[in-house]
A and B are shown apart, each in its own frame.
Chain A
Amino acid sequence: MNDMSDGYMTADGRQIGGVLMELKNITLKFGGVTAIENISFDIREGEIRAIIGPNGAGKSSMLNVISGFYVPTEGEVWFKGYKRGPMKPYEIARLGIARTFQNIALFDGMSVLDNIMTGRLTKMKKGLLAQAGWWWTGAAKEEHENREKVERIIDFLEIQNIRKTPVGRLPYGLKKRVELARALAAEPKILLLDEPMAGMNVEEKEDMCRFILDLNDEFGTTIVLIEHDMGVVMDISDRVVVMDYGKKIGDGAPTEVRNNQAVIDAYLGVAHD
């Protein structure tokens, strides 16, 4: 692979920037079980980075390490050139790392709009007392500005018509979209998508693919996604990490990974020694 210290050019001609996040020798153990074993890779500014692998490979664990829900047993996470200390998940969210969940975690009792507005919480600076002032302290203006940003995202993801619907009533595919909208509302530096297309039909999958590509294109958002569907991953991602049994068995552009013997074995189910 050629030198990529200042980024690289993708096959479709997009310029990818420098390293945004680097994971160094990450190991994650739960008691005696090793979920992730000594994995290193980097995430570059503006790229769509996929993590794939068979069931139980440790993909979701990896995502949880990045978003701070798990603290790695060993290894370091470097973000924007700094080593990340031990932090709570909400602190990491405030750094600009937003995520979606495999089993959708939305606020069911709240409307679509309110759900997406929670994504803006980190951007709203007015304190408790200033909120009580409303017009007087400018809290109303802040709310409006944030509301505008959220409306843009709602337009972008084409969910205008369900704006006021309580999320609990929505079908699965739309919930996934609302969850994406909420993560996007935080204007994240890195957007983590945990199986964004799991359980969707072909049409919904196509929509989701289009949204992921468009938002990467339009907002320049760096995206890390986990996905089962190999076809989808190969189509939309710039670089792919392949995991199997907690180890990294491949890393590179989709075409490289596709021809990697270890990857083929993992997916076709060659017996492990």
Chain B
Amino acid sequence: MPDQLVYAMEVTLNGLMAGVLYSLVALGFVLIFKASGIFNYAQGVLALFAALTLVGIQNGQVPFAHMINAMTGGHLTNFGWQVPSVIAILLTGVVMVLLAIVIEKLVLKHLVNQAPIILFMATIGMAYFLEGFGDVMWGADIKTLDVGLPQGINETIESLTDRWFGYGFFIDNLDIVATLLAILLVTALTLFSQYSKQGRALRAVADDHQAALSVGISLRFIWVLVWSIAGFVALVAGIIWGTKSGVQFSLSLIALKALPVLMLGGFTSIPGAIVGGLIIGVGEKLFEFSIGPMIGGATENWFAYVLALVFLVFRPQGLFGEKIIERV
């Protein structure tokens, strides 16, 4: 029965998978926003940087090769080895933690007690710096990332759906892996923030700096921790998006897709980031499928933002965000 309904089901499934990827990026924003009240403009670039570093380490690239060559006149480009993906991912994780420490030391430490807008500006600066730094470190060419994630059509699903509906769904294996990774990541993060003492400290810092200090929490440690986690989430997002569409500058633009997700789900809610991502993923695919042909298509580019605007009008705090009530 290959009819509209079956197509719609396939579109919905694909929308859900795309939504998971949006959620993944949005998650990085939510984590930092919750813990420090900073809207981290650099989150997308963080993902780009993580992916660049991963490719670089994996292929044994010499960091800063162009710069070194320019200064010494050498022709260094490659160490000539390949690092196994698992080790490369771990090493990239270490780099992201180091980056978090550097960001805290060079930027955040000096901006304690500043207004959120100042911190926001600082992250814009960081974004541009990091973008250039990534290029200088690993080169500006477009790279392919392959850490051994399965790609291509999932044949089990295709044959199953073919048997049930007489029409085989096209579901990408990479999307399935991404979904599983995202579920794993979110579960881990939720457990961490709800049940570990560091998670509790993190929530405490998000609520009140003074009170956090008074119970013996080091703000600087928490900031390093938060940015490390954000870096880690960026790494996961970078791996998946990088595998999907190559590691290049446009990877950092995935942050733009996270914005409507955040407006929908609320800036302060982890479940919000997930649900928001799913709604936008499914919404834009279904809209394109059903209304798109009538108005000339290409609705995916703007649908998410329009939906976010509608939400801003009717529910500015998002679906799950905290409604801020000031008691007078």
Contact surface of A with B, Cβ cutoff 8 Å: 67, 69, 88-91, 93-94, 98-99, 101, 105-110, 114, 117-122, 124, 126, 128, 131-132, 134, 139, 143, 182-183, 186
Contact = CB atoms under 8 A, between A and B. Distances in A.
Nearest to A115: B204
B314 interface: no
Contacts of B198: 128, 131
Contact of A101 (B200, B201, B211): B211
B207 A121 contact: no
Given A88-B213, A107-B212, A118-B215, 7 more contacts: A89-B214, A90-B213, A110-B207, A121-B215, A124-B197, A132-B192, A186-B215
Nearest to A93: B216
A121 B201 contact: yes
State the 9 A-B residue pairs at the shortest beta-carbon distance, nearest first.
Answer: A105-B211, A93-B216, A107-B207, A122-B216, A131-B196, A89-B213, A94-B216, A124-B197, A118-B204
Contacts of A90: 212-213, 216-219
A143 B197 CA distance: 8
Contacts of B196: 128, 131-132, 139
A101 B218 contact: no
A169 B213 CA distance: 23
Contacts of B315: none
5 contacts: A105-B211, A107-B207, A117-B200, A122-B216, A131-B198
B215 A109 contact: no
B155 interface: no
A183 B206 CA distance: 19
Contacts of B192: 131-132
B208 A105 contact: yes
A110 B206 CA distance: 10
B96 to A, nearest CB: 15
- Which of B208, B213, B218, B225 is the most central at the interface, judged by chain A CB atoms within 10 Å of its CB? B213
B272 to A, nearest CB: 14
A63 B207 CA distance: 23
Interface string B174-201: 0000000000000000001001111011
Interface string B282-326: 000000000000000000000000000000000000000010000
B143 interface: no
A91 B219 CA distance: 11
B195 A122 contact: no
Contact of A93 (B208, B215, B225): B215
A105 to B, nearest CB: 4
A155 B200 CA distance: 22
A118 B218 CA distance: 13
A67 B210 CA distance: 11
A120 B217 CA distance: 11
Contacts of B214: 67, 89, 93, 98-99, 101, 105, 183
A67 B196 CA distance: 27
A82 to B, nearest CB: 19
A122 B322 CA distance: 29
Nearest to A131: B196
A98 B210 CA distance: 12
Interface in B215-269: 215-219, 225
Nearest to B214: A99
A182 B214 CA distance: 10
A243 B183 CA distance: 59
Nearest to A104: B211
Contacts of B201: 118, 121
Nearest to A108: B207
A182 B215 CA distance: 8
Contacts of A122: 215-216
B219 to A, nearest CB: 7
Contacts of A119: 215
Given A101-B210, A105-B208, A126-B197, A110 B203 contact: yes
A134 B188 CA distance: 12
A99 B215 CA distance: 8
A182 B218 CA distance: 17
A109 B322 contact: yes
- Which of A117, A131, A182 is the most central at the interface, judged by chain B CB atoms within 10 Å of its CB? A131
A101 B209 CA distance: 12
Contacts of B210: 69, 101, 105
Contacts of B203: 107, 109-110, 114
A121 B213 contact: no
